[in-house]
Structure formats: structure tokens, C-alpha cells
Amino acid sequence: MSENLIAATYPGMRKDDLIVITGAGGFIGGSLTRYFHNQGFTRLRAVDKKPLAMWYQVFEDVENLILDLSQETNTVRATEGAVEVYNLAADMGGMGYIERYRVECMRSILINTHMLEASYKAGVKRYFFSSSACAYNIDLQQDPNVRALKESDAYPANAERGYGWEKLMSEIFCQEYHAERGLGTHIARFHNVYGPHGTWDGGREKAPAALCRKVIEAKDKGTPQIEIWGDGTRTRSFMYIDDCTYGIDMIMHCDKLTATPINLGTSELVTVNELVDIIEAIGGVKLQRMYKLDAPKGVGGRNSDNTFIKSTLHWEPSKPLREGLKTTYDWIEEQYFARKAGKHTVQD
């Protein structure tokens, strides 16, 4: 079987097969719904616990359900008749959120546990779980000049407190549902996804969106300063949303990756200061940097080793950071000024 199959070309997959996407009111889930909608799939079920008015993207010809999937009965409803399930539902956000609300992040294990059981009982053929690079051993991520993390670096286990441990344990649930019950599970460890149609304000936003907003706000208010969490030397890689959705599709439809965690991220490592440099250049401004050293800042460095995904799929996320940030900046700027004009935005 070909290694580069997607849903549209997977043998036996039909355009009227029911695809369920949880967390569909959020950033990645909403973008994945759009992705399959654009691919011509006619039976999509989008599920999120937020009111529909708070969803980042809504499609009228999609079955949109408002359900709290930490409740077992709701997962039964969500998975009825599904051929494929993409579980992106989780209580999470940027570093400020996952460091302050560890209990809430860990409670997301209820979602995946109930969704796996419901999917198994519903006869779902393929199940996708969105894991995170936060599942990796934090001892390997203290130096900003960190080596790229390969899949085996999750063990011996020493994940990030709260959110990271929930992801690692949920991965194991997925692997055991395949080993013991034959459910075709697929697992991707996301590395810092960014792009338009995501959180850009309110405390749950991640660094690229937060910094774009801060630059836009500084320009608008004429205040030549920007607050940066930490000292700006910590390093990360950032993956554009379109690479993420396409990667999810390929991982889900690669039989070699059944019950096998795999990195989904870029290997373009930058410091936070370099990230600010790029965004300032996009905004055409240079700001005085104020470093908030007591703010949540996460591990010293984290990057994706893409050896495995390249050898398996002959592909890796490749959108240049500068290009993706320009699109993201423009969208956030539009949202910012829409809010200022009293119009409704996805953050209101």
C-alpha cells in the first residue's frame, strides 16, 4: 500500500463516510474541519463544548454538535455511525494556561478515555489522537541549544507536569486499544502549531499569536515597547496550520503508523527573540523589549527531529516561518481592528 495516502485516496474510503472531528470549535479542530470540507467530504460531524457563537470556524453544511466530551454519554452520541474520528478536544492553551491550570489539563484524559471506548463500540475504523511534544522527557529540554527530540525520547518518562503527562498516558490508552481490541489508532505529537483562525488573546494564546497581537497593539497605541515572557533566549520550532492538517491526514492513513506516536512539527528552530525580530519586521516597527522573567516560560528548548516522518512519509512540514507568520499577523491585525470597531470576533 502507498505510503502517501490521504482520506481522499485511501482504499475503501468514500466521500460520504462520516468523519467526526472533536474540538472543532477550536483552532486546529476548526481548521481540520475546513480541510476535509474543502476535500469534498459530505458528512462531517464537528463537536465542541463551546457555544456555536464562540467557534472559530463554522460550516453550515456540517453537523455541528455542542457536547462536553468529558461525559461518557456525549461521546456515544458523538461517535454514532462514524468511520473516522479525529480527537482534538482538550482543555489547553499556551504556556501561561498549561502551567497555571494543570488539573484542568489533566482532566482531558476523560475525553480521550471515553472517546476511545465509544469509538471502539461504534465500530470506528480509524481513530486519531492529538498528542504533544510536551510528552517528552523534560530533562532533555533544559538547554536552549537542545538537540531535536526523536520519538523514543518520551522514555524514560518524565513529561511536562499536568498537560504533558495527560498526553503521554492518553497515547498509551490509544496503543492498548489497538493491541487488545484492534482499534486502528494513530498518534501525532504536535510541535507548536500556529496560524490564522486561532486564539490570539485572552490568556490561552501561544507565543506566535501573542507576540503578533502585542506588536499590533504597540503600533496602534503608539507605545514603543513589548513585553516578552522570559529572557528571550528559549528556543522552539513552530508549524503552520496547513502543514498540520495535511500531516494529520497522512498520518491517519498510513498503516505503518498504526498505534505509533510520531512527531508532527518543523525543525526550524528559533529563539523567542528571533521570533520577535520576524514579527517586528512584518509590522515594520522596532520596539523596546521588556523581559518579564517571572512569567511562565516552559522548557529551555524544544525542537522536532523529523527523521522518522521523512523516512515513513517522505514528507515533513515545510512552510517557512516568515511566510506563515505574515499570514497569521495579517489575520490577527484584521481581528484586532474589527474588535476595536465594535464588531464581533472569534475572541469575543
* 163 tagged catalytic: yes
Residues for the chain: how many in total? 348
Question: Which helix (H) or strand (E) segment is 176 a member of?
Answer: helix 163-181
Paired with 227 in beta bridges are 290
Question: Which helix (H) or strand (E) segment is 31 a member of?
Answer: helix 27-38
Q: Which of 35, 97, 136, 163 is catalytic?
A: 163
Query: Using DSSP, how many helices (H) and how many strands (E) does the chain show?
Result: 11, 13
Residue type, 229: W
Question: Which helix (H) or strand (E) segment is 309 a member of?
Answer: helix 307-313
CA–CA separation, 8 and 54 (whole Å):
30
270 by DSSP, 3-state: which? strand
Q: What are phi and psi of 295, to 5 degrees?
A: -80, 155
The distance of Cα 71 from the centroid of its chain, to the nearest Å, equals 22
Going by C-alpha positions, the residue among 266, 273, 305, 301 that lies closest to residue 287 is: 273
Paired with 47 in beta bridges are 22, 65
Catalytically active residues, by annotation? 163
